[in-house]
Amino acid sequence: MNSYETPLVLFTVLSQLSVGMVAVSAVRSFAGPEPPRKQIRSEWLVAGVALLVGMIASVFHLGHPAGMIRALAHLESAWLSREALSVGVFLGLVVVGIVLMRQKTNRGLIVLTALAGLLALFSMGMTYSPPSFPAINNVLPFVFFLVTAALLGTSVGTLFAPEEKKPLVNGIFAVSLIVGLVIYLIVPCIWLSGGEIMRQTGQAWIASPLYWARIVVGLVLPLAVLWKMKTTPAWLWVAVLAGELMGRALFFANTVHTATIMGGVY
């Protein structure tokens, strides 16, 4: 088992929450009249604060935090450099959006910021899919991160949506929950039929209480509540966030590295 990488858990989940919220506000802006500017601005403020907290947390995983700015030095090949840049650009656009929203909302900027956020998600997906972890040396990290952004963006975004648009946001939330549930139930089972390291990863995930807690608290419970109440109660985002944090800790701690069985059968 690897380290839980708590700073990276906080960074990835909170930045994906931020991207999700901005993306939801962009989708909403195409579906008829928007809520008062002040309300959208509050939504973006929450997204900005979450992102900032996540970025501050990420610094604590560095042995030498003072050197963090140098992480931009290898843009030509290191996805971590590209991740740092794209997240920085996304934060910049969120701040510009918050400032401009004092005067008026700008749909073009909202869409541009959402696209920058998706680019940041892609960079994160590439950063966390190295060859040393065969189970996730593919598109899966990006898919996991998209699911996180969709789940958190909609469950928190619904708090800021006007009544007439809540069904739209709840609809996206419900679809995201179903897609997330299917992905998280199927993927470890597929790993079980892969190579030795993939198989061990599948076993490690399925045997981990974090995996089941993540499914029950972050996916099944919200889905049941949504199905029963036909709306998203204000507290539900807490369960979704808890589920995502547990799922991300699982991602970092229980994905098996190739070097762990050197000398064994691959």
Partner 1 sequence: MGKQLAFYVDSDKCMGCFTCAMACKNQYHQEKGVVWRKIYPLAEAIYPHQERAWYSLACNHCENPTCLEVCPVKAYFKRDEDGIVVHEQEKCIGCGNCIRSCPYGAPQYNPSLKKAEKCSFCWQRIDAGLAPACVLSCPVDAIQMVDLDQFDATGLVQYAPGFPKFPALNPSVRFRLPKQPVVVRREDT
Give the helix/strand (H/E) hosting 82.
helix 79-100
How many CB atoms sit inside 10 A of residue 49's CB?
Answer: 13
Question: Does residue 68 interact with partner 1 by CB under 8 A?
Answer: yes
Per the CB < 8 A criterion, the answer to whether 4 and 252 are in contact is yes
Per the CB < 8 A criterion, the answer to whether 246 and 213 are in contact is yes
Using the rule CB under 8 A, give the single segment among 57-65, 102-110, 198-206, 224-232 that binds partner 1: 57-65
Show the tokens assigned to 137: 């040396």
For residue 4, the minimal CB distance to partner 1 (Å) is: 13
Question: Does residue 186 interact with partner 1 by CB under 8 A?
Answer: no
For residue 76, the minimal CB distance to partner 1 (Å) is: 9
Interacting residues with partner 1 between 109 and 148 (CB under 8 A): 127, 130-133
Per the CB < 8 A criterion, the answer to whether 132 and 258 are in contact is yes
Interacting residues with partner 1 between 187 and 206 (CB under 8 A): 197
Please identify, using beta-carbon distances, which residue of 89 and 95 lies nearer to partner 1.
Answer: 89
Please identify, using beta-carbon distances, which residue of 203 and 258 lies nearer to partner 1.
Answer: 258
Type of residue at 146: L
Please identify, using beta-carbon distances, which residue of 68 and 238 lies nearer to partner 1.
Answer: 68
Q: Which residues bind partner 1 (CB under 8 A)?
A: 61-65, 67-68, 70-74, 77-81, 84, 127, 130-133, 197, 257-266
